[in-house]
Chains A and B, each alone.
Chain A
Amino acid sequence: MAADAVEHGGGAAFDPMHQFQVKRLVSFDVFGLDASFTNAAAFMVLAVVVISVFTIASMSGRAIVPGRMQSMAELSYEFVASMIRDTVGNAGQKYFPFIFSLFMFVLVSNMLGMLPYSFTVTSHIAVTVALALVVFIGVTVIGFVKHGVGFLKFFVPSGIPKALVPLLVVIEVISYLTRPLSLSVRLFANMMAGHTMLKVFASFVIGLGILGGWAPLAFMVAFTGLEILVAFLQAYVFAILTCIYLNDALHMH
């Protein structure tokens, strides 16, 4: 098996996709469902632990003048809070814990994925689709609860000729339904492409040896910096799009 060959230090059978392999660490079933604790699950739990420690332990001092870690925790809080305030307004404060959790989960998962030998939770479409669907379904439910059947008017743009209404409604509905798809694929594709790219260039470093390996190594260093930026940016994009969708549901534009 190629994957095993790489795992055991075999350089020849190189597979850049091996890093995305989900391995069952503890296998078990719950009511016939495969609920095995995998490496992906381990990194999800690790992300939760990291976020919890980051936001709780750093605030344990409750200092008036914050230290380094407390400043960062407060900064992330203010960052998400102002993001919601700017896009949704005061009505969005109710959803602050959810958006904060979402942002931090994606951000920390992306960042943990930057560590060598780690697993990137968000590079799996299963995860991003699930998160995007939670956002999509949640936002749609909020829209209907808030405006009742009137929420359907969201799909009828105002100020257009009557003849165009059916066409535009179809377009609006399709664009609305593609939201979870674009949301999930954007994150998943970015993460997967970046990590694959890093792996490919890492193999070039080995392949070109001590003489020619420096060029791809330099590129990798720069690209790692870019990847860290992308990791943050994608978490931000995921969160801000959630805010925008929420705003659409609450205020109908």
Chain B
Amino acid sequence: MPQLDFSVWPPQLIWLTISFVALYIIMARVALPRIAEVIEHRRDRIANDLDRAQELKDKSEKARQDYETALGKARSQAHNIAQDTRDRMASLTERQRAMSEAALANKIGEAEASIARTKAQVLARLDEISVETASELVETLIGKGAKPAQIKKAVKEAIAAQGGE
């Protein structure tokens, strides 16, 4: 077995020492710090990116909330304005209605007063007209006029009788 040929142990051990020490120094001084640096850099970068993404997400969330608050405010403002306008219009209409109603009532009153006046005038002259009509009727019926005093009396009685009904 060549492995147990002890004459080749010293060169193997010497070269193993040389190469392994060289490997250790290269790894510890150059290779591993470089790999560690790259991995660390990547980890930082990813962490940074994630942080930034979170930050932006927070910002957009805040913007959304702001927008929603503003929208809500605007909506309630619009509602208020609409309500105000509606109230104002209603009161205006009410006032105009009242005014026109008052005017109408006035006019109706005036008209009623005028009717009453006319009626009173007519009624005041009713006796006179009745007497004239009666005397003409009597004259037409019997060919001669009656005494105005008698006719007046008869009309008065008739009106009294009618009014008594």
Contacts and interface: CB of A to CB of B under 8 A. Distances in A.
A48 to B, nearest CB: 5
A48 B21 CA distance: 10
Contacts, number: 130
Contacts of B161: none
B24 A21 contact: no
B45 to A, nearest CB: 6
Interface residues of B, number: 37
B2 A17 contact: yes
Given A22-B8, A100-B32, A125-B3, A41 B15 contact: yes
Given A33-B14, A125-B3, A59 B27 contact: no
B141 interface: no
Interface in B2-26: 2-5, 7-20, 22-24, 26
Interface residues of A, number: 49
B4 to A, nearest CB: 8
Interface of A: 17, 20-22, 24, 30, 33-38, 40-41, 44-45, 47-48, 51-52, 55-56, 59, 62-64, 66, 70, 73-74, 77-78, 96-98, 100-101, 104-105, 121, 123-127, 130-131, 188, 192
Listed from nearest, the 5 A-B pairs whose CB atoms lie closest are: A41-B15, A97-B28, A55-B31, A22-B8, A44-B19
Interface of B: 1-5, 7-20, 22-24, 26-28, 30-32, 34-39, 41-42, 45
Given A66-B38, A126-B12, 5 more contacts: A45-B15, A47-B19, A55-B31, A97-B24, A97-B27
